[in-house]
């Protein structure tokens, strides 16, 4: 499977999909940027079930390779909604971008996998640091580990797991930043020895090569790991408060559907991520994977997001901790619970 075809097909299908609002007068055009991971599934379930339409939202979707890549689009005003990792958003706000997190969509998504060349060193009773050291001793080279750019959630949680949890020796590891597409292809091709991945990449690569081993789950790589969120620009929220409320209410219903009847979500998520390219059975498997944990309540990720930001400062990918004032707006979720 060509991941780039996968992404382009999903983007084209969504752009072509007719999706009128309740009426031309009530419709709120919404330019939605997203990254192509299962953690974004609630937005596509809400779209497919007609809940965005009921909210008066007419979406146009654009795919991005990572959250940091989406910040420029936010800053230029070319997207209204951001559906990606939470980590870059405080930085965006500090630079004058009025962006507000109104919902989480998924937590604990990022997991660490080892390609066969590295996986063979993760034997029973061997801790991660020892496995990396054994690989270096056997090959003479550090293990190359792929992840997204500095400042992203995947990059941050990989480094947290390596240096704080596994206590690995930095001489045994080389971190290679690359996009989601390139990461999946690099693991499959053996161009890197390990990577941080999310669904559906985890299911895709393990289906293609069962020798690729899941080494550390989401909670292990970063406790309470915050992940994908739905955030809206201040301008959109101010102009379309009722639409934002409808969006969050739709996400709550989408998470319930994903939890109780994930098979009903398969057509919606399959269309979003490349209908006709990915087997529906694979999408369904990805939806119920241990790496797919759908959570809409933004209150649950505020403190983990603070912890992640503090670690970014320690890494040097962020100069200083930034205030969260105004970043999280939880009232939409709270009202959604009421009715």
In tens, the pLDDT along 32-69 reads 999 989 999 999 999 999 999 999 999 999 999 877 78
Distance CA 292, CA 29 (A): 29
Query: How many CB atoms neighbour CB 189 within 10 A?
Result: 10
- Helices then strands, each counted (H, E), the chain: 17, 12
Q: Residue 9: is its pLDDT beyond 90?
A: no
| 152 and 215 co-located in one domain | yes
Distance CA 319, CA 158 (A): 19
| 185 and 84 co-located in one domain | no
Assign residue 156 the CATH number of its domain. Answer: 3.40.190.10
Q: Residue 16: is its pLDDT beyond 60?
A: no
Domain count, the chain: 2
| 239 and 313 co-located in one domain | yes
Per the structure, the complete domain to which residue 332 belongs is given by 3-108+225-338
pTM over 0.85, yes/no: yes
pLDDT digits (tens, 9 = 90+) for 298-335: 999 999 999 999 999 999 988 888 888 889 999 999 99
Q: Is 274 left (phi over 0), alpha (psi -120 to 50) or beta?
A: left
Backbone angles phi, psi at 277, to 5 degrees: -105, -40
């Amino acid at each position: 499977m060509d991941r780039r075809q996968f992404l382009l097909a999903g983007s084209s299908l969504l752009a072509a999909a007719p999706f009128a609002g309740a009426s031309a007068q009530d419709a709120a055009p919404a330019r939605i940027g997203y990254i192509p991971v299962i953690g974004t599934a609630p937005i596509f379930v809400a779209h497919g079930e007609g809940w965005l339409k009921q909210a008066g939202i007419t979406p146009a979707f654009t795919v991005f390779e990572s959250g940091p890549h989406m910040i420029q689009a936010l800053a230029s005003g070319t997207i209204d909604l951001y559906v990606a990792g939470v980590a870059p958003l405080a930085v965006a706000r500090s630079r004058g971008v009025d962006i507000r997190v109104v919902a989480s969509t998924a937590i604990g998504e990022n997991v660490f996998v080892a390609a066969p060349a590295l996986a063979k060193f993760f034997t029973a009773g061997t801790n991660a640091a020892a496995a990396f050291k054994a690989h270096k001793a056997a090959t003479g080279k550090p293990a190359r580990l792929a992840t997204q750019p500095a400042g992203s959630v995947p990059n941050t949680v990989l480094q947290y797991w390596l240096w704080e949890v596994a206590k690995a020796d930095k001489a045994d590891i080389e971190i290679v930043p690359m996009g989601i597409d390139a990461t999946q292809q690099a693991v499959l091709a053996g161009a890197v020895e390990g990577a941080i991945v999310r669904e559906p990449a985890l299911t895709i690569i393990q289906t293609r090569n069962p020798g690729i081993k899941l080494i550390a789950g989401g909670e292990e790589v970063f406790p309470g790991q915050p992940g994908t969120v739905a955030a809206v620009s201040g301008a959109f929220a101010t102009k379309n408060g009722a639409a934002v409320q409808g969006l969050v209410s739709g996400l709550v219903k989408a998470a319930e559907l994903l939890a109780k009847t994930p098979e009903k979500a398969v057509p919606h998520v399959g269309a979003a991520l490349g209908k006709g390219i990915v087997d529906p059975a694979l999408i369904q498997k990805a939806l119920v994977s241990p790496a797919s944990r759908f959570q809409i309540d933004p209150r649950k990720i505020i403190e983990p997001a603070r912890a992640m930001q503090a670690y970014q400062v320690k890494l040097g990918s962020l100069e200083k901790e930034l205030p969260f004032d105004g970043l999280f707006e939880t009232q939409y979720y709270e009202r959604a619970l009421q009715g």
